Structure 1
Amino acid sequence: MKSPSPNLVSELAPPANRSSHEVTIEKVIGHSFRRVQDTLAVEEPLEIQLAHGAIGARSVKSISVTMRTPGDDFDLAAGFLMTEGVVRDSNDIEQIVYAASSIGEASRESEETHSALPYQPGKNVVRVELAPDVVVSLANLERNFYTTSSCGICGKASLLALQTVCPPRRKNIFQIEADTLTRLPDRLREAQSLFNLTGGIHGAGLFNSEGELLGVKEDVGRHNAVDKLLGAEFLADRTPLRQALLLLSGRASFELLQKALMGGVSMVACVGAPSSLAVQVAIDFDIILVGFLRDNHFNIYHGAKHILGHSAD
């Protein structure tokens, strides 16, 4: 078998669509290889800035940088702020815009810094302008909101932090047929246009109890996909989502259950496994939780009585 060309790492072309781009690769099958075009999901940094305070005394603060797939950036920013408890009503946000530069950078320095960002650096900084009467807890911002499963803080502290900011919940009355539930992963996959192109991106879908797809978002980060999805619903003034099911294309972590809770979602299902702390959130806040939803089987971690059409052996 001939060795691939030594100078062939990848040949990138500026994409017409920022969410994906083409690369030239060498595809190996057995003892032969050939040059083909492949499509990759784009991964770029997004800085989220927050502008708040009274008119004439506004402050602007950079609160997060996340690696995301470009597209639905405003939904992502709104969803992030809503699920982190910074905003509670869509009217808290006056506008969301792309910012010209990062905080504290001179114009020349900003241009030099951003010139290294792929494709469209002017679209990698989003500024959320809050209404003048919205009070922002700078202490929460400095702590980077609550703990996550990767920070080393105990689960008890994470749950206590979540209890202080979660919205009031009503009794969970959501129900769904087991047969309807098992059909949802295929419907989500069919709606994932970027996954169909790249095979390497997370999806989050919102469904009603009849199995109707209400919305879908994709991103290289599973948390970003959920923020985009919930942010779009938040900006459309459709939260809390008590009559909706959130379906995740991967696993369910504490962070994703936290986001579902903040969006008022009644049920979370995932095709992968939930973490122990995700299950605890589901139990503590009465969120129906299903894992390993594949083909005609799934595991119920909380809320079995809400899933109809199945019986115990």
Structure 2
Amino acid sequence: MWRFGADGVAAVDDQVAVEAPLEIRVNGRGYAVTMRTPGHDLDLAAGFLVSEGVIGAATDLSTVGTVEDAEGDVVDASVVGPGAMVAMDRQRHVYTTSSCGVCGLASIEAVTTTSRFDVTRDDVEVSARAISAL
């Protein structure tokens, strides 16, 4: 990574946290997208569905697994019983509050949708000294 300081820029090794979107599907249909630190995605999806009231017992969850042919990180939970209807009623297709706007989207494809605004070109330059003074 690059460390910016009053004396300039230096390449350094450091540890950083990683965050990535996870799409959670119920019975093959997009339910929600959440940001998370990758790892233990199946447990996260199952726990999320418990907190949402979609599943109330282990018997409500037939299977939970990764979707191998999906673009991005996708988990699909096979829900049986009344939880399947709960999932249909609570399917999240609207924006919900989050710092970056990803949480609450319905699919990984929605995360990667390109903005209509051109944000790739910017001639603004800020010196390392100005950044370190912030």
Partner SS state of residue 13, structure 2: strand
Map of 1:253 onto structure 2: none
Hey, what's the Cα distance between the residues in 2 that align with 1:100 and 1:65? Answer: 17
Q: Which has the higher contact order (CA 8 A, sep 6+)?
A: 2
Hey, what's the Cα distance between the residues in 2 that align with 1:126 and 1:143? Answer: 17
Match of 1:141 among 73, 91, 107: 91
Q: Give unpaired runs (5+ residues) of structure 1.
A: 1-23, 52-59, 103-113, 115-120, 152-222, 224-313
Map of 2:17 onto structure 1: 41
Map of 1:89 onto structure 2: 57
Give 1:65 shift: 1.2
Give 1:26 shift: 3.0
Match of 1:74 among 39, 42, 57: 42
Deviations 1:124-146 (A, max 9, x none): 01011123x344232232677xx
The two structures have a TM-score, normalised by structure 2, of 0.59
Q: Give unpaired runs (5+ residues) of structure 2.
A: 104-134
- List, as ranges, runs of 4+ consecutive aligned residues in structure 1 with deviation greater than 6 Å: none
Deviations 1:28-81 (A, max 9, x none): 2x4355321122211211111111xxxxxxxx2110112221011011101111
Task: Count residues in correspondence.
Answer: 96
Give 1:93 shift: 0.8
The two structures have a TM-score, normalised by structure 1, of 0.27
Which has more helix, going by share of residues? Answer: 1
Give percent identity, aligned residues only.
Answer: 32
Match of 2:66 among 98, 114, 121: 98
Map of 2:78 onto structure 1: 129
Asked whether 1:26 is paired with 2:3, we answer yes
Hey, what's the Cα distance between the residues in 1 that align with 2:91 and 2:13? Answer: 43
